[in-house]
Structure 1
Amino acid sequence: MKSPQTAVSSFHKKIPRRIASTHVLACISLALLATACGKKNEDASASSVAPVMTATTASQAAVASTPAPSAPAAASDDKLQDYIACYNQLDRNAHRSIARYRSWVKDMDAGPSGKEMVVYGLYKIDVADIAKCKTSFAQAVKGTPGKLDAAATAYIDSLAELGALVADADVYYSRDNYKDDAFAKGKKLHAPLAASIKNFEEKSNIFSEEIEVENDKILDAEMQQLEKNEGRQLPYLQMALMSKAKHLIRLIGEEKFDAAAAAKILADYESVTDEAITYVKKNSESAGSGWSSLERATEDYRKAAKERVRRIRDKVAYSEGEKMMLKPGSGWMVEGSQEKVTKAYNELIEASNHMHR
């Protein structure tokens, strides 16, 4: 599994974003895990931040000379990757389903009135995938659970509950059954569904924060070691620009933030990104086939981030037309919106992942 949210609209306070992992990085650069990346790790790495593997002797020597970690350390990292993979796989779809429901149920306290002109229902949440992660999490928390484990358990339990309720509601709305019972079941479903949504969103926020705390520790340590062993070559620069991108989205992904502080972090991101681009121009053989896509994604994220910072810095209010667009599915088209910058960030992670697929 592998490898982060706020809306200006009234539909949700957080915009789901992916979490970048160091799992593939470890296998490529520092042998952080005791064993090589096998099929399990390849499958799990589909959503992680993956640096380009250089073919230089120096890089290979750095990997060979790095001592393997202890079994507990490797097990801990494996567990973190499982948590990240499940989060990335499940969380965004759950939030999309919630946002769809909120887009037509105007009063989440009262629920459906039965007089709605448009009824969208919800998006399905894959209960089978939830069950798989629930089983995986149960294995991971054996022993002495820490804060991350407790957050993982609470998260997957809340999602399992939500998934079951959404499945029931999806059948009801997708079959237009509300047209036959005057919304009787829809009104009955709302209270437990709304309570489950609230609980899930709380647990999702806590889980993502705990994941990031642990993930940052690994990423920062590996970046320092990689720079020491290989210098500022592409593997390090890719990790660095993704790290800067993550710190930036954590700030500008919020509804309100300090524009001056954001401008500084944005400048840091631009600096290391430009360094990576310059490096590849001079060392084209070091870049894999996915570099062009990653470079485009860095530029798209750069532009979206600048738009976001300018809107907050200059206190530019959304026009009436933009406000109408600030909803799931179209908010990303609004310049300077949280949705647009988060979408660009998620696509940056995907492009980085593809560097090693």
Structure 2
Amino acid sequence: MNAPLHTPAHIASKLTIRLLLALAATALLPACSKKPDNAGLASTTPAPASVGNSQATPPLTTPAEDKSSQAASKLQDYIACYNSLDGDTHRSIARYRSWVKDMSNGPSGKEVVVYGLYKIDVDHISRCKASFAQTAKASPALPRLDAAAESYINALAELGALVADAEQYYSRENYKDDAFAKGRKLHAPLAASMKTFEEKSTVFSDQIEAENDQSLDAEMQRLEKTEGRQLPYLHMAFMSKAKQLMRMLGEETFDAVAAGKLLADYENLADETIAYVKKNSDSASSGWSQLERKTEDFRKAAKERVRRIRDKQAYSEGEKMMLKPGSAWMVDGSQEKVMRAYNDLIEASNRLNR
């Protein structure tokens, strides 16, 4: 009798997750820092040893730490472009598919509503393509990630050019003058390019996540061992737990008991971090209050999502009408709402680490 809990396929096919900037070899600066050029970031590189004797000064970092720092820098370059372009691209694809009902054949010319597509910043794509070429050459070599990045940006560049042409055609309503002739001509290469991009986007995202997980885990272990449970460690720890939780909650269905345990772990770490900052207010940068607010928003959205699945709560008729691009995030317990809250959390965290 109850309606299914699933989100419509055209929504759930791609829920774009913003990625946490690589945090290896970084920590949060106190708010009183006098280094505006590095606001929100501080190296965890050990301070130079005392001088005054004839012995050589020990190196500032170990080779392993240098490699970790270099890998983190590469990840940041890749993640920054992914975060700024991927979501907009998927939204443009979703907009096109929302009114082109038959993606095999394209526009029929009989559509009642023609939404066109959203613009994609082709100049930004070009800048990222040039940046990726340099990043891939940097050490250390990360073969799988570097290859995935190249495939991703090439697919995005191809799609970006096609979208620019199609967006102009539809926004100017030229289809009213040529009976959709150009729209039908554009469709096949556009649909094929969309499909290729989505495939490359998934591979690239997975490779970034794999490298970033490894980097974050190593840095958390180092920080906990050398500094204890201070803010740099706690920040990484609760963001890492948020990522694990989001991976589960982003699925169409999941084990509510397991999700509840992950949620409890996230809440405990978030509460420990918030309590630490209250006791050590000079330990956090000025952007901490925004991150704390987004932490609470994600906590609430995650609880709603877990309850929706745990209680087998079907979407009402009104909610089902809202489960579409642009409004699904307003539905309590939906994948889109918790995803939006998570992405906002990631953005707030990334601002502290730029």
For normalisation by structure 2, the TM-score amounts to 0.85
- Where does 1:19-98 land on structure 2 (aligned, <5 Å)? 19-23=19-23, 26-28=25-27, 67-70=60-63, 73-98=68-93
> How many Å separate the matches in 2 of 1:129 and 1:258?
40
Equivalent position of 1:254 in the other structure: 251
Distance 1:69 1:20, change over 3 A: farther
Distance 1:252 1:208, change over 3 A: same
Equivalent position of 1:159 in the other structure: 156
Equivalent position of 1:314 in the other structure: 311
- Structure 2 contact 298–338 (Cα < 8 Å) conserved: yes
- Structure 2 contact 19–79 (Cα < 8 Å) conserved: yes
Question: Bigger shift: 129-138 or 266-275?
Answer: 129-138
Equivalent position of 1:33 in the other structure: none
- Structure 2 contact 85–125 (Cα < 8 Å) conserved: yes
Question: Bigger shift: 62-71 or 300-309?
Answer: 62-71
Task: Identify which of 328, 338, 342 aligns with 2:339.
Answer: 342
Equivalent position of 2:8 in the other structure: 9
> Quick one: percent identity of the two aligned structures?
66
Higher gyration radius (CA): 2
Quote the offset at 1:336 in angstroms.
0.6
- Structure 2 contact 46–61 (Cα < 8 Å) conserved: no
Corresponding residue pairs, total: 330
Equivalent position of 1:236 in the other structure: 233
Distance 1:236 1:279, change over 3 A: same
User: CA-to-partner distance for each residue in 1:2-28, whole Å, 9 max, x for gaps?
Assistant: xxxxx92332411112100224x6233
Distance 1:69 1:208, change over 3 A: farther
Equivalent position of 1:123 in the other structure: 118
Quote the offset at 1:210 in angstroms.
0.5
Quote the offset at 1:335 in angstroms.
0.5
- Where does 1:260-275 land on structure 2 (aligned, <5 Å)? 260-275=257-272
Quote the offset at 1:326 in angstroms.
1.2
- Structure 1 contact 28–63 (Cα < 8 Å) conserved: no
Task: Please give the secondary structure, in 1, of the residue aligned with 2:25.
Answer: helix
> How many Å separate the matches in 1 of 2:120 and 2:301?
29
* Counterpart AA for 2:225: K
User: CA-to-partner distance for each residue in 1:283-324, whole Å, 9 max, x for gaps?
Assistant: 233233322222211111011011111112222222222122
- Structure 2 contact 25–68 (Cα < 8 Å) conserved: no
Does 2:140 match 1:141?
no
- Structure 1 contact 62–230 (Cα < 8 Å) conserved: no
Question: Bigger shift: 282-291 or 106-115?
Answer: 282-291
Does 2:184 match 1:224?
no
Quote the offset at 1:69 in angstroms.
4.6
User: CA-to-partner distance for each residue in 1:30-73, whole Å, 9 max, x for gaps?
Assistant: 9xxxxxx996xx6xx9xxxx68x7xxxxx989666894254655
Does 2:290 match 1:293?
yes
Distance 1:69 1:202, change over 3 A: farther
> How many Å separate the matches in 2 of 1:228 and 1:289?
27
Question: Bigger shift: 178-187 or 250-259?
Answer: 250-259
Quote the offset at 1:356 in angstroms.
5.6
Does 2:319 match 1:326?
no
For normalisation by structure 1, the TM-score amounts to 0.85
Does 2:98 match 1:103?
yes
The answer for unaligned runs of 5 or more in structure 2 is 1-5, 30-34, 50-58
The answer for unaligned runs of 5 or more in structure 1 is 1-6, 31-36, 54-58
> How many Å separate the matches in 1 of 2:200 and 2:107?
25
Question: Bigger shift: 81-90 or 204-213?
Answer: 81-90
